[in-house]
Amino acid sequence: MSATATAEVIEALSTKETSQLNFGRFSPKAQGGKIILTPEGTISVQGNVVLEGGTQNAASFSITGQYDATFSISLPLGPETLINFKNDKTIQVSDWKSSPAQGIGAGILTSGELTVRIGASLTVGDMNANPVGLYSGSYAVTFGYN
């Protein structure tokens, strides 16, 4: 008796960051607060932070691969730190959200592609804790076939 074995090679999953997560410009007041940026790009403030313009946008990633394949999205589990390299002060980014929502099988590569958007919350202290300057850092996001 003989049995059959099969294997299928599919296109590799490819990702490209097309837009960086950017909370824009702001001024913290006496108590600080939180800037919330949704995956859809809506921004809101809690506490004593005044938005002052600049570019504000959710991160976006172009995902390409096998037509109609599903993939998972994994976001950071906890806060990530942005650093002001002039004075080593830090700001925390947390409450990560994505569209589609993170998880196994969260994304479907209809026609072999999909855009994933990521938002988060920025916790801001007062002006002493978070003095003037550019804060930057990185975070890990993982995309993988199911």
pLDDT digits (tens, 9 = 90+) for 123-139: 999 999 999 999 999 99
Could you tell me if residue 116 is inside a domain? yes
6 in a domain, yes or no? no
Tokens in use for 17? 């960051």
Give me the domain span that covers residue 131: 17-145
Place of tokens 């809101």: 44
- Bridge-based pairing of strands 43-51 and 89-99 is unpaired
Contact 73, 119 (CB under 8 A): no
pLDDT in tens, 4-57: 999 988 888 999 999 999 999 999 988 899 999 999 999 999 999 999 988 999
Is residue 117 one of the residues assigned to a domain? yes
- The answer to whether residue 1 sits within a structural domain is no
Encoded amino acid at 16, one letter: K
What pTM was estimated for this model as a whole? 0.90
